[in-house]
Chains A and B, each alone.
Chain A
């Protein structure tokens, strides 16, 4: 029974956690590059240097003393996002959608006082959300206005697109849709939906919610399959370019679609999750092995994107 399952998973080319760590992240992601992707501020600076669009940075709070001035930084902005520079998996992201008198209104409708917001920032600085509890910085940045396409199929938060990039080739993609369960956040382990996306066309395939296959959004009831993601080629280009940016061989690239500004690079992930395989109902291994086998490796971003679109189309 167990061996039968193992054999079928092997046949489907499903990548397991041990194999991902051993064959891919340990082999292709050198340890010294991790700070580039674990620190969102550094990722942002790298992306800006390379001419990629990112959500605009309003301010950075680095030490406890600066927290007093946080309300002045926020003066001109009705909407913004506060997040830890080294948070993992979307933990600690606070989305403010407006003001109520001198207080802040969160996207969930909860009102947060000025001192509560300051305390929240202080928690970020003390490392509550960072990997290993290290002291951290708080980033205050532009709140993405999501593309109307996603209005019907996401609950409150901003959907984002995760593309796994191997040695500069986009190999698998999914779009992550916030739900009521995920509290408006786009991370699968927090309860968001992941819908597989065909690399060749940018159309959504099946979707997975809490390890189960679904076809409709659990909160809105609208279908989540067969949707065309706009700007697909640009998205693939940004993802492929992320490899040149950092040198990370195996990386998850998170991109959001803004109504006005188009695709914005959100963050990179050196240990991208494996649920993307369930969302696509396909294993990663055959695609990764295909890339590893390429003899003459195309160098430009355009060539790599074209190769991926030709060879990695959904069946």
Chain B
């Protein structure tokens, strides 16, 4: 195959990739730069289970619009299930049903939630019907009464009393009465249960909210319950974790009441995840919506149609080719030597988790320590494969030791050393020691530094928000990268380091 073939192929690939890119920008209005974060969140609940083969019924509470958060769009995704939504005791409930199903099943609920301007407090709430007294007996009743009494003594009104109660319940080691009600290790659910019992005993109407907070840093949002207490025509909320009064603005309520979030009949191994992501303003969502109308096929088969957790994986994966392309440039145009072809890209990927500075420090630490052990192994005269295994074991030990030491020093960033690809580290140490033995320390350190510089550059290229956004929203740019790689595969120019290497030939003959 001649060069012309490659040129034509690259040209066509570039045309296709760039054409699609420009079409999406001009015609569909996809944003080229990552947008400002908006007041719009995507919330996705995924329930997976294994159906037993008979009828399956899954019911789940779904979010409701509150005075601060409005559910503006909803999707239910399932394969072959019938869906109904009903109101149950004021809660919205979705029910999926199917007559016969077997094997692994996954149901998705997806909605867009928008933050609203905080409205005036809602209308006066009716006093709920009085609840039956809790069935507390003997020592439990005594403990509950003592707790209530001390909370009342230490507070001025209902709000502060509830806060005191929650505080007491979280301290079973200071308060044997609390220990009796919540057990030695209280968690949110136990505290919630105990608080409800105590308030019922005190004849104060109370209920539980279940929901998620939208602005937690991680992608996965845990279900958190909140306590509401009725007094004088309104419900006031308390954080069951701290006793603090008030409902946070980002708390999205799924249901009111003690029932669990979802029920599955006819299936087992039930697992659920709730993912929350803040969407970009004025850009992506609107463009995707427009695209769905203008050109439905295009969006149907785009990454934006994938489940959100898969999307966030692809946000990372699609940046890897950028790092690989950078590596090609560094090796074939600049001429930097590295240990192993793709080692710098993989290390750069690990730097995403550790951050650059810590990444460099940890990498140097592991390689330096590993190298000294490897030199010791060299003197033991071991066979190749057992020696590699031994170095791998040492690398894992070193990583564990670094984590433990740094944790005790309070350097929690260093814990992320666990994310280094250990096989790659092992091979780096092995190759570095061989180069050290055969070509001398200068060559080995030079190649090691080269690898590190390329890894740092690859990290900077891959982790930039701009790169991530571009590659994820416009995956067709991969075709342009592919074309670029093919072209560089035919590159015959000098490498930058060769200009120095051959400089004696560039000067005129003496």
A interface list, Cβ under 8 A from B: 2, 5-6, 8-9, 12, 14, 16-19, 22-23, 91, 116, 119, 122-123, 126-128, 133, 189-190, 208, 211-213, 274, 277-278, 281-283
Per-residue CB contact flags for chain B residues 483-508 toward chain A (1 = under 8 Å, else 0) read 00000011111111011011111110
Q: Which residue of B lies closest to A24 (CB)?
A: B492
CA distance A277 to B490 in the complex (A): 23
- The answer to whether A5 and B493 have CB atoms under 8 Å apart is no
Once the chains bind, are B501 and A211 in contact (CB under 8 Å)?
A: yes
- B-side contacts of A19, CB under 8 Å: 492-494
Instruction: Decide if A123 touches B384 in the complex (CB within 8 Å).
Output: yes
- Beta-carbon contact of B501 and A22 below 8 Å: no
B503: A residues at CB distance < 8 A:
5
B439 contacts A190, C-beta separation under 8 Å: yes
Which residues from chain B contact A14 at a C-beta distance below 8 Å? 494, 498, 502, 505-506
Q: For B494, give its contact among A9, A116, A119, A213 (CB under 8 Å).
A: A9
Q: List 30 A-B contacts (CB under 8 A).
A: A2-B496, A5-B503, A6-B494, A8-B507, A9-B499, A9-B502, A9-B505, A9-B506, A14-B498, A14-B505, A14-B506, A16-B492, A18-B494, A18-B495, A22-B489, A22-B490, A91-B438, A116-B381, A122-B383, A123-B384, A126-B383, A126-B385, A127-B384, A189-B439, A190-B438, A190-B439, A274-B502, A277-B505, A278-B504, A281-B504
Q: Cβ of B491: which chain A residues have Cβ within 8 Å of it? A: 18, 22
Q: Which residues of A lie under 8 Å from residue B335 when comparing CB positions?
A: 17
Alpha-carbon distance A236/B159, docked complex (angstroms):
101
Which one, A91, A128, A281, contacts B505 given CB within 8 A?
A281
- Are A126 and B501 in contact, with the CB atoms below 8 A? no
Q: Is the CB of B506 within 8 A of A8?
A: yes
Give, as a whole number of angstroms, the nearest-CB distance from B492 to chain A.
Answer: 4
Q: Is the CB of A133 within 8 A of B495?
A: no
User: What's the minimum C-beta distance from A173 to chain B, rounded to whole angstroms?
Assistant: 17
On chain B, the residues within 8 Å of A18 by CB distance are 332, 491-495
Query: Nearest chain B CB to A99's CB is how many angstroms away?
Result: 22
Q: Which residues of B contact A189 (CB under 8 A)?
A: 439
Chain B interface size band reads 20 to 34
Q: Whole-angstrom distance from the CB of B222 to the nearest CB of chain A?
A: 47
Given A14-B494, A211-B501, A281-B509, 9 further pairs, Cβ under 8 A: A2-B496, A5-B499, A8-B506, A18-B332, A22-B490, A123-B381, A123-B384, A126-B385, A278-B502
Instruction: List 5 tightest A-B contacts by C-beta distance, closest first.
Output: A126-B384, A19-B492, A16-B494, A8-B506, A5-B499
Q: Are A6 and B490 in contact (CB under 8 A)?
A: no
User: A119: which B residues are within 8 A, CB to CB?
Assistant: 381
Q: Identify B384's interface contact among A128, A208, A278, A281, CB under 8 A.
A: A128
User: What is the CA–CA distance of A170 and B82 in the complex, to the nearest angstrom?
Assistant: 80
Across the interface, which residues of A come within 8 angstroms of B489, CB to CB? 22
B493 cross-chain contacts in A, Cβ below 8 A: 6, 16, 18-19
Q: How far is it, in angstroms, between the C-alpha of A18 and the C-alpha of B501 when the chains are bound? A: 14
